[in-house]
Structure 1
Amino acid sequence: EAINFYQKEIQKHGGMVKEDKIAVEDKNHIIFLISLTDKIIREKENDDFYAIFATSEENILRAKEIVKKTIKELEEKGIPQEIKTFPGELEISKKILKTYDDKAIGLSTWPEVNPKTVKDKIKLILSQEKKPIHFKDITEMIGNLPQKKNLHPQTIHNELIRNQEFVLVGRGYYALRDWGYNPGRVRDVIYQALSVSENGLSKDEIVNFVLDQRMVKESTVLLNLQNKKFFKKDKEGKYKIKEV
């Protein structure tokens, strides 16, 4: 009777299922029961696949072929691919994982799918949120990742400071440099804006440029602009870099 029950459960999953889906409790007892029948096949875990229950060898081969094809497609694409559902056939593979938001799949070796370093985890959070985030919030979000590894905020902050892929854009707020943010203080951002302008820029143009790059108050921009050691204003009211 128990064998028939598990056989039906496996059939519900298309004749092949990852062992953990069926053997949730009393795992060893279930494995022993299944070993007594030829109606259910158990394939042991290996480097590429988790343990599998199936009603036939054909079902296992079919699932592995789907996995092989999916891995090849992912390798060709090079980035995670969006999915609506995660097929049971892919659940048996150790090389394919869902992204932490369950919206896409990718290879387990990809940092955006399976982040292992602190840097990878920060990049994953920022990429998913698509906006600058305070380092304390980044720390909290990392704590909610599937790995469930809690890191100290200072550990996150140190990585954000030392790694050039991240840019400080406000008090404690960081963004990805890939988004077009450039490192440096507010004064450096003003200098950058003026360095590509032949005829200088108005106060409003400079303020708008800086506020696109930094989460600061307008008064902070104006205060930096008044530094006569670095900037000068012409008769038309436009600002330029003061020549040394």
Structure 2
Amino acid sequence: MALPISSIAKTVGQLVKNLSSRNRDIITRRFGLKTGKKETLESIGQSYGITRERVRQIEEFTFGQLTKTLGQNNQINDFVEMSRKILAGSSGVMKERDLFRAFSGNEKDSVTNSALVFCLTLNGEFYRFNENNNFTSFWALSEKHAGHFRDSTTALIGAFNENKAVLSMENFSGMAKENKITDFEGRFSEEYLRAILSVSKDISRNIFGEVGLAVWPEIRPRGVKDKAYLVLKKAKEPRHFGEIAKLINSTNFSDRKANIQTVHNELIKDGRFVLIGRGLYALSEWGYKPGTVKDVLIDILKESAKPLAKAELVAKIMNARRVKENTILLNLQDSKVFKKGGDGTYTLKKV
């Protein structure tokens, strides 16, 4: 008969009850077995007037005592095996909060989750990785599983640095296959990739579910200009600055709403955006060049090996700008810049 998850705290309480009162108190407070909140070596040491190192020694000694009786405790072993199955289903690695949720139904600190951490730590086979700048806290079936997991993450970061592009989940999976990213057992799985995305602080998903490096503005946009870039790239075609502001707000990056004028100001200042019509902006990476209609006409004629007819110039400008034909023709009338030949074609006037 399966044990109720909530009974794990009582089971652990029974396990530690025969310890000396001080040792039991230290273990209980270190793991948060009564409150769900762990206490530091320092705070426990201060309450007993002993050093942090002495508290650590007592903890280590007490664990040695408890380990001797662990093999006889079937209930503890049942909870450990439940956790092992959960971790195995996630390719051997799992974010601590996700493990809590899968085990107890609650990802937050609690007496039940503290008891789970105690059991897994006491078992000694599992490995807990403490949170650092690159990973959130996670559990692995073993230290070797954790090491392999970190290596896999490093390899994916390298692949992103080489590709320099955000990817859909499908393409991210494809890139992982190309780079032979497998779990510790040598198997490729989507669960393993999801574990990496959940645990790594360096690889993340943006609001559209695309995957890339967390430092990229397309993944974690910083400020209005990055949000404008992201929504315009997603739109895949030029938009008026007012519509770009609406797209930012409807995407719900945050509770703070983007101001239309602020958006317009950022579009003007940022070289990633090109004004191609009245209030209409495109991305420079789409091939649009900055400048007035006259500037674009000059660039087209400079790059042309032959004079161009009016119709050709109009067609080329229409590909680069959203303007009326009359605007183009008015600019061509500048005789200081453009020269019209007898056949009606145009060249740049030589200075």
State the TM-score bracket (shorter-chain normalisation).
0.7 to 0.9
Q: Do structure 1's residue 113 and structure 2's residue 219 form an aligned pair?
A: yes
Aligned length: 243
CA shift, 1:238, in A, is 2.0
Secondary structure at 1:87 match in 2: helix
Alignment-derived partner of residue 196 in structure 2:
89
Amino acid at match of 1:203: K
Out of 59, 62, 66, the residue aligned to residue 152 of structure 2 is 66
Give the conservation status (yes or no) of the 8 Å contact 2:204–2:212. yes
Matches of 1:10 and 1:60 in 2, distance apart?
A: 12
Secondary structure at 2:326 match in 1: helix
Secondary structure at 1:32 match in 2: helix
Query: Where is the helix percentage greater, Structure 1 or Structure 2?
Result: 2
Matches of 2:283 and 2:142 in 1, distance apart?
A: 49
- For 1:1-244, what aligned pairs fall within 5 Å after superposition? 1=3, 2=5, 4=79, 6-24=83-101, 25=106, 27-29=108-110, 30-38=112-120, 42-80=128-166, 82-84=171-173, 85=190, 86-103=193-210, 105-143=211-249, 144=251, 146=253, 150-197=257-304, 200-227=307-334, 230-241=337-348
Secondary structure at 1:169 match in 2: strand
The percent of aligned pairs where both chains have the same amino acid is: 35
Structure 2: gaps of 5 or more residues: 9-78, 174-189
Give the conservation status (yes or no) of the 8 Å contact 1:52–1:92. yes
CA shift, 1:41, in A, is 5.4
Amino acid at match of 2:94: V
Question: Structure 2 vs 1, CA of residues 47 and 31 (structure 1 numbering), >3 Å: closer, same or farther?
Answer: farther
CA shift, 1:48, in A, is 1.7
CA shift, 1:196, in A, is 4.1
* TM score, norm. by length of structure 1: 0.80
Amino acid at match of 1:15: G
Give the conservation status (yes or no) of the 8 Å contact 2:127–2:146. no
CA shift, 1:68, in A, is 2.6
Secondary structure at 1:168 match in 2: strand
Matches of 2:141 and 2:321 in 1, distance apart?
A: 60
Question: Structure 2 vs 1, CA of residues 230 and 75 (structure 1 numbering), >3 Å: closer, same or farther?
Answer: closer
* TM score, norm. by length of structure 2: 0.58
Amino acid at match of 2:91: G
CA shift, 1:215, in A, is 0.9
Matches of 1:13 and 1:193 in 2, distance apart?
A: 57
Which digits, 9 at most, give the CA deviation of each residue in 1:138-157, with x for residues without a partner? 32333426566532121121
Question: Structure 2 vs 1, CA of residues 72 and 238 (structure 1 numbering), >3 Å: closer, same or farther?
Answer: closer
CA shift, 1:32, in A, is 1.5
Matches of 1:212 and 1:55 in 2, distance apart?
A: 57
Matches of 2:345 and 2:107 in 1, distance apart?
A: 77
Give the conservation status (yes or no) of the 8 Å contact 1:142–1:149. no
Q: Which moved more, 1:164-173 or 1:108-117?
A: 108-117
Which digits, 9 at most, give the CA deviation of each residue in 1:195-244, with x for residues without a partner? 44565321101110110110122233234334556545332122344567
Matches of 2:204 and 2:231 in 1, distance apart?
A: 17
Amino acid at match of 2:322: M
Question: Structure 2 vs 1, CA of residues 201 and 120 (structure 1 numbering), >3 Å: closer, same or farther?
Answer: same
Give the conservation status (yes or no) of the 8 Å contact 2:97–2:107. no
Give the conservation status (yes or no) of the 8 Å contact 1:63–1:90. no
Task: Let me know the Cα RMSD of the aligned residues.
Answer: 3.1
Amino acid at match of 2:119: T
Give the conservation status (yes or no) of the 8 Å contact 2:232–2:238. yes
Secondary structure at 1:178 match in 2: helix
Question: Structure 2 vs 1, CA of residues 22 and 203 (structure 1 numbering), >3 Å: closer, same or farther?
Answer: same
Matches of 2:349 and 2:164 in 1, distance apart?
A: 47
Question: Structure 2 vs 1, CA of residues 198 and 88 (structure 1 numbering), >3 Å: closer, same or farther?
Answer: closer
